[in-house]
Structure 1
Amino acid sequence: MSAAARRPRLRLRLRLRRQPRPAMTAAARIRRLRRRLTALFALTSAVGLIALAAFAIHTDDNSWRSQLDDTLNLQASQTVPYVSFDDNGRLDVQNLLDAMETSCPPVTVVTGTADQPTIAYTPRQPCVRVRTEDLEAVAATAMRDGSAAEVEVRGENGHQIWLLAQPYTGASGQSTAGAVVAAGDTTSSQAEHRKLALLLVTGCAVLVALSAVAGHLLSGRAIRPALTALQQQEEFLADAAHDLRTPTASLRSLAETALRDDAHRAAALERTVRLATRMGDLIDGLLTRARLMAGVGTLARQPLRLDQLVEVVVDDSETGEHRVTVHTEPVVVNADPDLIRRAVANLLGNALLHGHAPGRHAEVELTVAADGTVTVDDTGPGIPPALADSLFQRFHSGSGSTGLGLSIASWIAHAHGGTLDVDTSPRGGARFTLRLPPQARTVSPE
């Protein structure tokens, strides 16, 4: 194959390699930070616990070895004074037998030279069974060096034995005549040491696991405000897009009408000004809700004629050929006017959009009762019972909407201490009932 024929394939490979990786979302980065914090917390705890466990294990090992060494030194030092010699300079162990012979004497006496050590005295029933060659070897080392020698060996029964040999001088007191060897079984001490080490290792593992869980919980609590703020930001952007999409389209349509039709220019511009004012109110309402959800603002509650507000919302709505009927009773509620206006407008818009059969005009009826209840009835297909619980969730929508209108209305109702419910309307469609606490009436004295 020629070089020219290989070039396209090479370029394709280069293009595939240059494809960027998909960007990680902010929420994913925050969750990754949580995992890293958890790992760092667990690693820090593990390093500290392992260091403490290693120090404890090392200290315990030195402790029992030092205690055993002191015990063997004491036994050997107490035995050396009982080593005596007869008139001919030979080793006499009778004093040793009289003083040290017990059911389990702890020492062995070795005589001779470093090159040819010989056991002169050994217990009849020793507690620790040590091989003869091991006893002679450690005694020879002590006699050769002229100082105490110690070594760890394995006994006849397989136990670990610690031997300590201490030299003694002859009858003249000038030269080394032998060594006293004390023996101690370290099997039980080492078993206790291993048990302690296993306990510490297991405890460290459990504590590291607990610290990882605690770190995960603490890091989750630490990043929760960030996730909440991120979610509130996304909700704010979604709500802004939902509330401003229709007014923006209407504003553009009016501007195009004013440009094309000189006869209707004045009316179009007048409606444009009204719509622009309405968009400003919507933006203010969105900002207010964002501040309330973030906990940095409060509801602008004030006495409000709910019946008059509903009538104004209906008058400002683009109903087209749909028919909207309003029945009101005077009622005053203590609420935020902008938010309540948005809630009623969302319910009305939902009824106009979904509350009719395809190809037919909507017939919507709004009723304001004296107890602070706003009822919106339509003649549409109604709401299936299976969807009633999830209808007020964000982004739950039917055709032609983003699914935020009802969720916003539900949030506004609950923010004012009220409720928003859905049921079957006597007109055959859906009935949305917005309940707000009415303002308490004051009775003036006569």
Structure 2
Amino acid sequence: MRPSPAVARLYRVRWATTLLFAATTALCLLVLSVLAVRTDARSRTNDLDNDVSRRADGLARTLYYDAGVLNLNALAEDDLALSAERLAVIQAPAPGRPRIRHSPTARAALPDQAGLDDIWKQVEHDQETVFVATEADGREIQWAASPVWDGDRIGAAVLVGADPAQSQAAHNRLVRRLTLGCAALVLAAAAIGHLLSGRAMRPALRGLEQQEQFLAEAAHELRTPLATLRLVVESGSTSATRAPAALDEAVRLIDRLGRLVTGLLARARVEAGTQKIELTLLRLDQLTEQTVEELPDSTGVTVTTEPTIVNGDPELLAQAVRNLVENALRHGGGTPVDVSVTPGRIAVRDHGPGVPAEDRKRVFERSVTGSDSKGTGTGLAIVRWVAELHNGTARLSPASGGGLLAELLLPPHTSS
């Protein structure tokens, strides 16, 4: 069944809330991820620079000039030199271009001559450790160059290089994990948001459902007495001699309508939780007889009662009895209807075609689409609701000899 416009709007609001929740989560995760990626990139760059700088500085302090000759003996035993990824010592005569004086690293893994010239110029200019990125082996290598002094001039420089590819690969793995993690979190947030918004809207949906049920039940309860009242008024208005009787009948019907409206309002308040059902001691047999007498078409109804006292709400029980009898009259095929009241039980039997076994529970389900040929709709749903409020049950069963037997079972009153 297609949902009502109000329910459809609530569903749209739920999806909009879900999307907003997911978008907000995605935005927050995006900001945090960007900060994390940038922080990780800077951290890895700083770690790489600190490592090559520490090695270059340490090795430069172990080298020295002796009578104008550069002594490289310390490099053979120094752990900084032995564990260096790329290492070279360059030296430049004055004047002259720098050349590689010592290197355990393959020449192809070192800067070319143009790269050495650039490094030497920066070292001479800054007169301290400098960082230079050059191409070697087809990859970008980060170099730290630390000067070695020969008196008052820079005679050599220690080059320590490191390939940032491994660090970059780890950084890329972090980016991929963050992307996948954020996507999973956004999906989880959307699912949680959809679940929470659904739970938050349940009271509203329940309220709309109760409102629609109330309107359907009100129309169901008021349709017959209003139609009867119209016929009575029209009958009285066409004949002066019938006017007094029609007026008395109209007053009776108006009283019945008043009781119906009171019962409908009470039921709406009970379902909304704003009012509790008030149970009083009452004679179930007398209430049933009075309710049947008020029906506009009760000539084919036979009532047999036994004195029965129950704890109940008279208006709600009257509605339940009225619905049982009207259902039997409507769907009994014009056959006689027998109503019997025994302790804790109201039974209404017709001689019609009955209800198939697979539909005997379904007919008690609430529906706002009216009634069909099997008797579904609000009438029997109200009967079951009233029975449950009184800690009782309602059921249908095949009657002996044919027809349908509808029963309202209530706990009988026991005197203490």
Same fold by TM (over 0.5)? yes
1:11-410 → structure 2 map (5 Å cutoff): 25-87=5-67, 89=68, 91-98=69-76, 100=78, 103-105=82-84, 107-112=87-92, 116-123=97-104, 129-133=109-113, 136=116, 139-143=119-123, 145-146=125-126, 147-153=128-134, 155-156=136-137, 161-169=141-149, 171-173=150-152, 175-319=153-297, 322-356=299-333, 361-370=334-343, 372-395=344-367, 397-399=371-373, 403-410=377-384
Where 1:299 maps in the other structure, the secondary structure is coil
CA distance in structure 1 between the partners assigned to 2:53 and 2:325 by the alignment? 99
CA distance in structure 1 between the partners assigned to 2:117 and 2:278 by the alignment? 97
Q: Note if 1:432 corresponds to 2:406.
A: yes
CA distance in structure 2 between the partners assigned to 1:43 and 1:313 by the alignment? 60
Q: How far apart are 1:141 and its partner, in Å?
A: 4.5
Letter in 1 for 2:147: P
CA distance in structure 2 between the partners assigned to 1:427 and 1:316 by the alignment? 29
Q: How far apart are 1:111 and its partner, in Å?
A: 1.9
Q: How far apart are 1:96 and its partner, in Å?
A: 4.2
CA distance in structure 2 between the partners assigned to 1:180 and 1:97 by the alignment? 11
Q: How far apart are 1:398 and its partner, in Å?
A: 3.1
Larger deviation: 279-288 or 117-126?
A: 117-126
Relative distance call for 1:310 and 1:116 in structure 2 (3 A) is: same
- How far does the alpha carbon of each residue in 1:82-103 deviate from its partner, in whole angstroms, 9 at most, with x for none? 333343x3x5243444554865
CA distance in structure 2 between the partners assigned to 1:366 and 1:288 by the alignment? 26
Relative distance call for 1:143 and 1:151 in structure 2 (3 A) is: closer
User: Do the aligned residues in 2 keep the contact of 1:93 with 1:121 (CA within 8 Å)?
Assistant: no
Relative distance call for 1:61 and 1:271 in structure 2 (3 A) is: same
Relative distance call for 1:124 and 1:263 in structure 2 (3 A) is: closer
Letter in 2 for 1:228: R
Where 1:181 maps in the other structure, the secondary structure is strand
Relative distance call for 1:384 and 1:111 in structure 2 (3 A) is: same
User: Do the aligned residues in 2 keep the contact of 1:115 with 1:140 (CA within 8 Å)?
Assistant: no
- How far does the alpha carbon of each residue in 1:18-60 deviate from its partner, in whole angstroms, 9 at most, with x for none? xxxxxx8111111111111111111111122222222222222
User: Do the aligned residues in 2 keep the contact of 1:114 with 1:140 (CA within 8 Å)?
Assistant: no
Q: CA RMSD in A?
A: 2.6
Relative contact order, higher structure (CA 8 A, sep 6+):
2
Letter in 2 for 1:118: R
Letter in 1 for 2:346: V
What's the counterpart of residue 9 of structure 1?
none
User: Do the aligned residues in 2 keep the contact of 1:84 with 1:95 (CA within 8 Å)?
Assistant: no
CA distance in structure 1 between the partners assigned to 2:388 and 2:174 by the alignment? 60
User: Do the aligned residues in 2 keep the contact of 1:57 with 1:197 (CA within 8 Å)?
Assistant: yes
- How far does the alpha carbon of each residue in 1:408-445 deviate from its partner, in whole angstroms, 9 at most, with x for none? 11111112111111111114111101101111223xxx
Where 2:110 maps in the other structure, the secondary structure is coil
- How far does the alpha carbon of each residue in 1:248-288 deviate from its partner, in whole angstroms, 9 at most, with x for none? 11111111122111101111011111111111111111111
Q: How far apart are 1:135 and its partner, in Å?
A: 5.5
Gaps of 5+ in 2: none
Q: How far apart are 1:196 and its partner, in Å?
A: 2.4
Relative distance call for 1:133 and 1:41 in structure 2 (3 A) is: farther
Letter in 2 for 1:365: D
User: Do the aligned residues in 1 keep the contact of 2:350 with 2:404 (CA within 8 Å)?
Assistant: yes
Letter in 1 for 2:371: S
User: Do the aligned residues in 1 keep the contact of 2:340 with 2:346 (CA within 8 Å)?
Assistant: yes
- The alignment-based identity, stated in percent, is 37
Where 2:364 maps in the other structure, the secondary structure is coil
CA distance in structure 2 between the partners assigned to 1:96 and 1:135 by the alignment? 26
CA distance in structure 1 between the partners assigned to 2:82 and 2:106 by the alignment? 7
CA distance in structure 1 between the partners assigned to 2:354 and 2:207 by the alignment? 36
Relative distance call for 1:377 and 1:400 in structure 2 (3 A) is: closer
Select which of 408, 412, 415 maps to 2:386.
412
Gaps of 5+ in 1: 1-23
Q: How far apart are 1:104 and its partner, in Å?
A: 4.5
User: Do the aligned residues in 1 keep the contact of 2:350 with 2:403 (CA within 8 Å)?
Assistant: yes
User: Do the aligned residues in 2 keep the contact of 1:139 with 1:166 (CA within 8 Å)?
Assistant: no
Dislocated runs of 4+, deviation >6 Å: none
User: Do the aligned residues in 1 keep the contact of 2:111 with 2:134 (CA within 8 Å)?
Assistant: no
Relative distance call for 1:306 and 1:97 in structure 2 (3 A) is: closer
Where 1:69 maps in the other structure, the secondary structure is helix
User: Do the aligned residues in 2 keep the contact of 1:300 with 1:336 (CA within 8 Å)?
Assistant: yes
CA distance in structure 1 between the partners assigned to 2:91 and 2:194 by the alignment? 68
Q: TM (normalized to structure 1)?
A: 0.84
CA distance in structure 2 between the partners assigned to 1:431 and 1:189 by the alignment? 83
- How far does the alpha carbon of each residue in 1:336-391 deviate from its partner, in whole angstroms, 9 at most, with x for none? 100000000011011111112xxxx4211111112x11111111111112321211
Relative distance call for 1:177 and 1:248 in structure 2 (3 A) is: same
Letter in 2 for 1:211: A
User: Do the aligned residues in 2 keep the contact of 1:304 with 1:335 (CA within 8 Å)?
Assistant: yes
Larger deviation: 57-66 or 250-259?
A: 57-66
